[in-house]
Amino acid sequence: MEYFGETVKLTKVLNDARLRVKKFGSDHSKRIGQRLSEFESASTLDDISRLPPARLHPLHGNYDNHFAVDVGPNWRMIIEGYDRFDELTTKPADAVTIVIVKIEDYH
């Protein structure tokens, strides 16, 4: 499955381990790298575990139509799923491309 950052800057940070450590710290950087590896090896978002450590789950409210995966205690990677026609989807089985919107502590 392909993944992209919502901005060019976020994409650069995600693809460079040094920049990830600088922006998120070593613990979060390691876990972000693990999630990115899981995304690369998955064919759809449905292949990502709904159990810890990834714990894929849908979001509601301000982040309606988004998903999140755990990065650390209280830290989440907020993502959008897109189907093979590049349309936003809320069905994990249809999501073959994801856009990483942000990584934050939203609690």
Domains and CATH numbers, the chain: 2-105 (3.30.2310.20)
- What pLDDT band is residue 106 in, cutting at 50, 70 and 90? confident
Cα distances (angstroms) measured from residue 97 to each of 23, 45, 72: 24, 8, 23
- What local confidence, expressed as pLDDT, does residue 98 receive? 97
User: Distance (Å, rounded) from C-alpha 83 to C-alpha 28?
Assistant: 28
pLDDT, tens only, 52-94: 999 999 999 999 999 999 999 999 999 999 999 999 999 999 9
Q: What is the pTM for the complete model shown?
A: 0.94
User: Distance (Å, rounded) from C-alpha 75 to C-alpha 29?
Assistant: 11
User: Distance (Å, rounded) from C-alpha 30 to C-alpha 7?
Assistant: 21
Q: Are 35 and 69 in contact (CB under 8 A)?
A: yes
The chain-wide mean pLDDT, for the chain, equals 96
Q: Are 55 and 69 in contact (CB under 8 A)?
A: yes
Give the position of tokens 């073959």: 96
- What local confidence, expressed as pLDDT, does residue 107 receive? 74
